[in-house]
Amino acid sequence: MAFNIPETGQERVVVVGAGFAGLKLARSLVKSKYQIVLIDRNNYHQFQPLFYQVAMAGLEPSSISFPLRKIFQRANNVSIRYAEIERIDLIEKRVYADLGYLNFDKLVICTGATTNFFGNKVLEDLTYPMKSIGEALDIRNAILTDYERALSIRDFDERQELIDIVVVGGGATGVEVAGALAEMKKYILPKDYRELPYGEVDIYLIHAGAELLPGMSAQASANSLKYLQELGVQVILQKRVQRFDGDFVYTDDGNKIRCGKVIWAAGIVCPVISGVSDELLGRGKRLKVNRQLQLINYPDIFAIGDAAIVLDDPDYPDGHPQVAQTAIQMAKVLGRNLKTNSKSNWKIFTYRDLGSMATIGRNRAVVDLPSLRLRGFIAWVVWLVVHLYSLLGVRNKVIVFLNWVWNYFTYDQSLRLIIRPRKTRRPEDT
């Protein structure tokens, strides 16, 4: 069965994924000569850099999400479909999804990346990833539920399993999560859970590398370590998590840590869509593209964002950083090229490093700009401004800003609700 998409006579560009790359591209092609079909498994855009604040009960999901249909309300050449892609036929130029199939003239794959468990199914089943709003809410529910349960537990070891948390991965996500957990312990538990011996709460950050924040400067790494230790986080470097059984985390040096919750932020890998052969996949299962972002040997199929690895850029032989700026810059180049009539005038993609940043609690952040290194309060303010500016929608910007201001002066967001979705009712149950 075919998608119910009107035939307009325009060339059809199908964009798979509405993350930073897909959304930027679709917006750049509004009122262009193309018919755009934007497909995503969600009907909203998610602002990934603030997932951890949803997980730590600092923000509500609606404040970092924006409905796709609202973005394109006045875009007559853009159709949105809420669907799950099942496979792609690269030769016949057809996308298959749970809604049916859809023919395309040009296809842009921007499916992003997901959590990398390095083939360990047990870790995948027992730990908490954080690559979507749903997963962030799962973490929030698990943390708050265990704090509630711990109030009634007298046995020390059993209580430790509920209240101690291990974060795996020392990149920006892991560092920010660990810092937020430490602040929750310091400012929230003494007020909300007065009967809980919050001094017993231990937060561990385990990182396989010798330095935190790989990809940032040595100065940023050292400062982030210092800030985490000041907050009481137990940082364990150059150790790998070998396994987790639900009760203990086991590291490769033979040690074990008792805890019932592990937040996994140790790496990412790209999901592989059926129909894409192994020869088209590079490091991290990213799709191999040229400097004009075309899939190798398929001139009408493109990949951008985390899903793409540019092969012939001598400055980035292992691929560009899988960050929002890369995705946005790729989308800008591809959007411009698609609107250019002659392929001979197409630009090649050249990445411009605008800097990296991470925050470790209030007044603590590290920022690496191309010609400047910032830390502490100034870096924290820069981090706030950049993330506020990047959010979609005036309403979201205002809500997030007010939340941050309120939290800064009161040390309390008051968003600690355990909300569990009700099971969907099946037709046969009626």
Whether the pLDDT of residue 6 is over 90: the answer is no
Distance CA 187, CA 409 (A): 12
The helix-helix angle for 218-230 and 172-183 (nearest 10°) equals 20
Mean pLDDT of the chain: 92
Q: Count the Cβ atoms, other than its own, within 10 Å of residue 396.
A: 19
Judge if pTM exceeds 0.85: yes
218-260 tens-digit pLDDT: 999 999 999 999 999 999 999 999 999 999 999 999 999 999 9
Percent of the chain residues topping a pLDDT of 90: 77
Whether the pLDDT of residue 427 is over 70: the answer is no
Distance CA 304, CA 224 (A): 31
Whether the pLDDT of residue 319 is over 80: the answer is yes
- pLDDT-derived band at 414 (thresholds 50, 70, 90) equals low
* DSSP labels, 283-326: GGGPEEE-TT-EETTEEEEEE-GGGEEETT-TT-TT----SHHH
Domains parsed from the chain with CATH numbers: 11-113+270-345 (3.50.50.60), 121-267 (3.50.50.100)
- pLDDT at position 418: 79
- pLDDT at position 425: 52
Which pairing describes strands 248-251 and 241-244: parallel, antiparallel, or unpaired? antiparallel
72-93 tens-digit pLDDT: 999 999 999 999 999 999 999 9
Query: Which residues, at least 6 apart from 136, have a Cβ–Cβ distance to it below 8 Å?
Result: 51, 52, 54, 55, 61, 130
Average of pLDDT values for 259-282?
94
- pLDDT at position 290: 96
Whether the pLDDT of residue 428 is over 60: the answer is no
121-160 tens-digit pLDDT: 999 999 999 999 999 999 999 999 999 999 998 899 899 9
Q: Which two tokens stand for residue 64?
A: 């970092």
Which pairing describes strands 165-168 and 356-359: parallel, antiparallel, or unpaired? unpaired
Distance CA 385, CA 381 (A): 6
- pLDDT at position 86: 94
- pLDDT at position 430: 47
Query: Which residues, at least 6 apart from 210, have a Cβ–Cβ distance to it below 8 Å?
Result: 237, 238
377-398 tens-digit pLDDT: 999 999 999 999 888 888 888 8
